[in-house]
Amino acid sequence: MNEARTVTEEPPAAKGRPSGTMDFEEFVAARSTALWRSAYLLTGDPHKAEDLLQTALVKAWRRWDSITRREAAESYVRAAIATTYTDWWRRRWNGEVPTDDLPDAAAPGGGEAAGVEVRRDVLLALARLPRGQRAVVVLRFFDDLTEQQTAAALGVSIGTVKSQTSRALAALRTSPLFATETGDQR
Amino acid sequence: MTTENDHLRDLLQRTAPDRPELEPGARAAAVARRGRAARLRDRGLVAGAAVAVLAAAIAVPLSLGGDDGPDVATQPPAPTAPRCPTGTIEVGPLPSLPSLDDVVSVRSCPAAWSGAGPAAQTDPLPTAPLVGDAAAAFAEDVAALPVYAVSDQCALISVMPEPWALVVTTSDGDTAVLGSTMRFCSAVTVGGTERGAGDVLAAFEGNLERQRAGIPDLSCPTSDRLAEGAPTWNASFDPSTATAGVACYRGDPSGRLEYAGTAGELSAEQLAVVRDDLAANLGPSTENGMCVDSGPQLLVILEDAEGDQAAYVDEACTGEFVGARGYWVPGPAAADAIADALGGRVRG
C-alpha cells in the first residue's frame, strides 16, 4: 500500500475550517504513534493495533468538522479506541488462535533478550485480564488518564474504573514479573 | 522510592514498541480511504463500477475487517491457558461452581470416574483452550442456558459413563473444575443452577470452533446435515435482536420435497414474524418422541447487528426446532414465513 503516502482527500468539512485549527493529517502525524502504542498494549499485536487505531481514526475523520481542538480530537480517538476494543470481540474475535507461548520478537541474547522477555511477560499478564480491566490498565497507567477521564473514555462510572483497576492490579500481582520486581520496592 | 504504579507504568512503556511499521502519512491516507468507503456505503452508493474501483484500492490487506480493515496484514495474538494437571481428574462427585464470572480460560483435560460400570468409548474433547473473550463468551452462554430438566428420552434409555472435565481459570489465577460422569442426561451446577452437561459441552466446542475459525458469513451450510457446525449452542444470543436471517432446507432422502428451494434469506417482514414467534414460543420441549434418523431438515440461522449468530434446527423431527435456549414450534405465520423464504411450499 505504498501508494498511500499522500493524502488526496480532506475529511468532511475540512476545507471550511477556520485558520489555526488542526488538519487531520497534522493530528495523525503528531499523535498516531502514541495512540498506536496504546492500541498495541490493548491488542498485544502490532497489526491488530493498526487495525484498531485506523478504525478509531476513521470515526474521527468522519466527524472532523465538529472536532476543533487537538485535545478534543485525542480524547475522541482514545475513547473510540477503548470502546471499539471492548466491543470488538463480538464481531472480530474470530481468528484469535491460542497458543501456550507468545512468540519472541528476537533471539535471546544480552539486553535485547531481556527486553523481549519483559515484553512477553507483560503481554502474557495483560492477555489474562478481561478486556475491561485491560483497557483500564492501559488508559490509567500508560495513557496517564485520570479516573474521571478513563470513565468517560470507556463510558462507565468512576466506581467501575476503581473496581476494575483494583481487580486488574490484584491479577497482575500474580505475574512473576510484577511480583518479583515490585516486591522489594514497595 | 518506586511505587507499584510507577513500576507498572515503566513496564508498559518498555512493552509498547517505539513505533509502528506504518508511517503517519500512509496511515492518514488509509484512514481517508476507509472513511470514504464507509461514507459511500452509508449513502447506499456502493454499486457497480464504483465497487470494483473501491475494492481494488482497499482489497488485499483487509483480512480482519472487510471494508474497515487495516492497511497491513493481520496476525493472531497469542493468549494462553494453564496446562492440564498431570494424570486424570476424578469427576464424581465434583463441588458445584459458584460462578463462571471473570473466567479467562477454559480447557478440557483428561477425566476419569472410579464409579461402577465401564466408560463409553467416545471421541475425546478438543484439547485447545478457550481463552480471553472466547472464554468469557462461553461463560455467557452457560449462564443463558435454560435450567436443566430430565428429558423423556433420558428416562427411557441407559446412558454409559463418559467422564469429562473442563478446567476453568479466573483472572486472579484460581482454577476450578466443571465436569460430570456423563455428557448427556446429566447436569452440572454453576452458580446454584443446574445446566445440561450436553449443552455446556456444546457451548464449549462451539466457542472453540468460533475461536478457531471466526463467525462465517450468514448463509446456509452446504453439508448434507444442516445441523453440522450450526451455532445451535449460542444461548447468549437474543433472538429479539436479530437483524437478518436465512432459512435452509434438506428434503427427505426418499426424494419428497416440501419447499421449492433449499436456501433463502428472510425478508425484513419474514424476519419480524420469526422474531416475534420465537419470543412467544421458544421454551421447553413439547416433543415426547424420539427423532428419526432420516427425514427432512430445516434450519433457521439468525444474525444480529454485531454479526453474532444463533441457529435453530428441526433435524428430521416433527416440526419442532431446537436451539440453545430451548425448543420452538413455529406458529402458522412463522411457518409460512420460513416456507416463503424457501420459495414456497410444493403442492401435491
Minimal Cα–Cα distance from A114 to chain B, Å?
11
Q: What separation in angstroms does the CA of A6 have from each of A54, B27, B31?
A: 16, 10, 12
Minimal Cα–Cα distance from A10 to chain B, Å?
8
Phi, psi of A50 (to 5 degrees): -65, -45
**Residue B155: Cβ within 10 Å count:** 8
CA atoms within 13 A on the CB side of A15: 4
Say whether pLDDT at B300 is over 90: yes
* Chain B residues 161-220 within an 8 A CB cutoff of chain A: 171-173, 210-215
Minimal Cα–Cα distance from A94 to chain B, Å?
3
Nearest CA in chain B to A140: B9
Mean pLDDT of B238-247: 92
Q: What separation in angstroms does the CA of B273 have from each of A159, B45, B52, B269?
A: 42, 30, 36, 6
Query: From the list A48, A115, A130, which residue is nearest B74 (CB)?
Result: A48
Give the model confidence (pLDDT) of A16-34 as tens digits. Answer: 444 445 688 888 998 999 9
**Virtual torsion, Cα B302, B230, A97, B236, nearest 10 deg:** 50
CB contact under 8 A, B133 and A38: no
Residues of B in contact with A24 (CB under 8 A): 28, 31-32
Query: In a 3-state reduction of DSSP, which class is residue B260?
Result: coil
In chain B, where do the E strands start and end? 89-90, 103-109, 111-112, 130-131, 164-170, 175-180, 187-190, 193-196, 242-250, 263-265, 282-283, 297-304, 309-315, 321-323, 326-328
CB A43 within 8 A of CB A52: yes
Which of A44-48, A122-126, B94-98, B228-232 is the least confident region?
B94-98
Nearest CA in chain A to B101: A130
d(CA B80, CA A161): 25
**Could you report the predicted ipTM of this complex, rounded to two decimals?**
0.80
Query: From the list B12, B24, B31, which residue is nearest A61 (CB)?
Result: B31
* Chain B residues 46-85 within an 8 A CB cutoff of chain A: 61, 64-65, 68-81, 83
Query: From the list A33, A47, A92, which residue is nearest B24 (CB)?
Result: A33
CB contact under 8 A, B33 and A4: yes
Q: In terms of pLDDT, which residue wins out, B117 or A63?
A: A63
B305 confidence band (pLDDT: 50, 70, 90): confident
SS3 string of chain A? CHHHHCCCCCCCCHHHCCCCCCCHHHHHHHHHHHHHHHHHHHHCCHHHHHHHHHHHHHHHHHCHHHCCCHHHHHHHHHHHHHHHHHHHHHHHCCCCCCCCCCCCCCCCCHHHHHHHHHHHHHHHHHHCCCHHHHHHHHHHHCCCCCHHHHHHHHCCCHHHHHHHHHHHHHHHCCCHHHHHHHHCCC
Query: From the list B24, B76, B133, which residue is nearest A131 (CB)?
Result: B133
Say whether pLDDT at B94 is over 80: no
Q: Which range has highest mean pLDDT (A89-103, A169-183, B82-96, B137-151)?
A: B137-151
Percentage of chain B surpassing pLDDT 70? 79
CB contact under 8 A, A96 and B83: no
**Residue B71: Cβ within 10 Å count:** 23
Minimal Cα–Cα distance from A38 to chain B, Å?
7
Residues of A in contact with B36 (CB under 8 A): 9
CB contact under 8 A, B70 and A115: no
Q: Which range has highest mean pLDDT (A86-95, B244-253, B299-308, B328-337)?
A: B328-337
Minimal Cα–Cα distance from A157 to chain B, Å?
19
CB contact under 8 A, B78 and A87: no
Q: Is B127 in the A-facing interface, judged by CB distances under 8 Å?
A: no
Q: Is B131 in the A-facing interface, judged by CB distances under 8 Å?
A: yes
Query: In a 3-state reduction of DSSP, which class is residue B19?
Result: coil
Nearest CA in chain A to B14: A119
Mean pLDDT of B104-109: 92
Which residues pair with residue B180 across a beta bridge?
B164
CB B95 within 8 A of CB B188: no
Amino acid at residue number A55: T
Phi, psi of B345 (to 5 degrees): -80, 145
Say whether pLDDT at B60 is over 70: no
CB contact under 8 A, A54 and B70: yes
Query: Which of B1, B18, B27, B36 to mutate to probe the A interface, most A CBs <10 Å?
Result: B27
Say whether pLDDT at B18 is over 70: yes
CB contact under 8 A, A131 and B17: no
d(CA B144, CA B141): 5
pLDDT of the residue at A147: 93
Nearest CA in chain A to B172: A171
CB B293 within 8 A of CB B316: yes
Phi, psi of B285 (to 5 degrees): -65, 145
Nearest CA in chain B to A84: B306
Contacts of B13 (CB under 8 A, 6+ apart): A142
Residues of A in contact with B217 (CB under 8 A): none
Query: From the list B8, B29, B306, which residue is nearest A7 (CB)?
Result: B29
**Residue where the block lists cell 468538522:** A65
